Amino acid sequence: CTAGYYGNPLRIMVAIPRDELLFRTNQKLREQTILSSLIFIAFILASLVLVGWIFEPLRRVSQHLLKISQFDFAARIDLDKSFTEMSELGASLNRMSRSLHSFQELIRVLNQPGDEAKTFEDLLHLILRILEKKEGQLYLRTGNNLKLVAWRGKEPLQNSVALQNKHAIDQNVAEILGI
């Protein structure tokens, strides 16, 4: 503005108390701070719940592996089915525990004195449990001769099988085991 007293520009000054001038700004800043703090607290609480939900199965797996390391092969682990990978890991650990327990039993059976026929029956039962099969036969091999010593399931046709060579025996065993 060029108009004014004696040709000097005219200036207008308004004085507003700072609290009045910044009231709305301070109010919005307080609201935003409170809202941000609540969101942060909610995020932390949700994170703690989520971490517990994720790491609880890992804690159980760790405890189960500790039991296995202490030769407690009969222990089983039950994991929530919501994590496919964790439930698969739990199932694998249970199969491993079952196999190790069966091998532990196998050693016990082989080291106990007693009736040979009963030992063979127990041995076959444990091998079938390890292989997760319901029936099978146990043969003793001497050279090229196989002698049936135990079976579970339908009764085999003959008690003794004489095979011509080692290759035929190995092929027969592979067929029995399904490999």
- Beta-ladder partners of 139: 148
Handedness of CA 86, 88, 91, 92 (dihedral sign): negative
* pLDDT, tens digit, 9 for 90 and up, residues 132-176: 788 888 888 777 777 778 888 877 655 444 444 455 656 666 666
pTM flag (> 0.85) = no
The number of beta carbons lying within 10 Å of the beta carbon of residue 94 is: 16
* pLDDT, tens digit, 9 for 90 and up, residues 11-70: 788 787 878 878 888 899 999 999 999 999 999 999 998 888 878 888 888 888 888 888
The number of beta carbons lying within 10 Å of the beta carbon of residue 86 is: 19
Strands of the 160-162 sheet, one edge to the other: 136-142, 145-152, 160-162
- Beta-ladder partners of 152: 136
